[in-house]
Amino acid sequence: MKTLIKFLTVISVVFSSAVFAHVHLEKSVPADNAMLMKTPEELTLAFSKEVRVVKITLKNKLGKKVKFGFKPTKEAHTEFTWKLPKLAPANYVVDVTFLGKDGHKMKDSFGFMVH
């Protein structure tokens, strides 16, 4: 019985810290799997809690990176926006690496298409 109680205690602590520490990308503009008729003017990311974005890449279907002036953030925010250059018609993938307030490193990615 003592072993079961210890096991359940450990599981509940691990689960509760994972739930409270988990930050996720709530919304992006362009949205994941969006099919756009014109090039987007901006890239916007909205997170569930404050984060620092430390790396973000925008690549076309050939894997070529598109430069758009990203610099890692020093302050934590829930929303970030960057101006985008004119994008050629193609499929694009955004990969983002961000840090929660506790320093936990997380990654997310999404894609969209410009016709």
Q: Classify the phi-psi angles of 41: left when phi > 0, otherwise alpha if psi is within -120 to 50, otherwise beta.
A: alpha
- For 23-114, the fitting CATH number among 3.40.91.10, 3.30.460.10, 2.60.40.1220, 2.40.110.10 is 2.60.40.1220
CB-CB contact of 71 with 65 (8 Å): no
Instruction: Please give the model's pTM, rounded to 2 decimal places.
Output: 0.81
Q: What is the pLDDT of residues 56-102, one digit of tens each?
A: 999 999 999 999 999 998 999 999 999 999 999 999 999 999 999 98
Q: What is the pLDDT of residues 16-61, one digit of tens each?
A: 444 445 899 999 999 999 999 999 999 999 999 999 999 999 999 9
Domain boundaries, the chain: 23-114
